[in-house]
Amino acid sequence: MNSNRKFRVGVLGSGKGSNFVAIAEACAAGIIPCEVGLVLSDVAEAGILEHARQRGLVAEYLSPGKFRTKLDEETEATYVARLRLAEVDLIVLAGFMRILKAGFLNAFPGRIVNIHPALLPAFPGLESWTQALDYGAKVAGCTVHFVDAGTDTGPIIGQAVVPVLDDDTPATLHERIQQAERRLYPAVVGAIAEGRITINGRRTAWRK
């Protein structure tokens, strides 16, 4: 990273972008020593793009290609090229609904993070808050992890616990998990930028 500029984050998202907003606001307020260099989405009308543009950030829609759940090789190469051109130091997945394959992962080894609305390794996959309720779990939460070739299987960086209340519905539990996400994700990104996260195999350490 060039020492003359801030640690630069590239964000990929497919939806409303609430976690992106939390990170962007933390950057703007100087809470974390980062700047958002680029926001990309596979959905032309995604709220995350509008949030980015309102903040004067570079925000682009890139066609996802021919597959429904992943990027095809040509599209993947386009995403990689745009992120490299923006000279990002870390790629943050904020509700990006595409599986990243080997070509993308190899282009940014150890530099891609994701947040999942469960206490991994419990309840990977979709609608994990509903999975937790259906299972009868007494606690739920969220996990920030490095991204690998599996689904929600990368090394865990940080977690936040949310109690499951007796009268919770999937909607109320999900909302409280999202509140925890908006606190945890910027904190993790800031810690990575400051070099306070180390990784040894599957184990990570977060120096406070």
Q: Please tell me the total count of domains within the chain.
A: 2
Domain housing 36? 1-109
Q: What is the rounded average pLDDT of the residues 54-73?
A: 90
Q: Pick the last residue of a domain from 57, 81, 109.
A: 109
Of 4 and 37, the one with more pLDDT? 37
Q: Can you tell me whether residue 27 is helix, strand or coil?
A: helix
Do 126 and 99 share a structural domain?
A: no
In angstroms, the CA 17 to CA 11 distance is: 10
Give yes or no: residues 166 and 126 share one domain. Answer: yes
User: What per-residue confidence (pLDDT) applies to 66?
Assistant: 84
Same domain, 6 and 89: yes
Last residue of some domain: 109, 144, 164?
Answer: 109
Report the alpha-carbon distance of residue 68 to residue 104 in Å, rounded.
17
The single residue of 51, 116, 145, 174 carrying the catalytic annotation is 116
**Catalytic status, residue 145:** no
Per-residue pLDDT, 129? 97
Please determine, for residue 136, whether its predicted confidence score (pLDDT) is greater than 80.
yes
**Are 60 and 36 within one domain?**
yes
Same domain as 2, residue 103: yes
For residue 3, the model assigns a pLDDT of 56
Domain check: are 44 and 101 in the same one? yes
Cα(162)–Cα(150) distance, integer angstroms: 25
Q: Are residues 100 and 157 in the same domain?
A: no
For helices 18-28 and 170-193, give the axis angle rounded to 10 degrees: 40
56 and 87 inside one domain: yes
**pLDDT tens-digit map of 137-155:** 999 999 999 999 888 999 9
84: its two tokens: 């490299």
Could you identify the residue written with the tokens 């309720």?
133
191-204 pLDDT, tens digit per residue, is 999 999 999 989 99
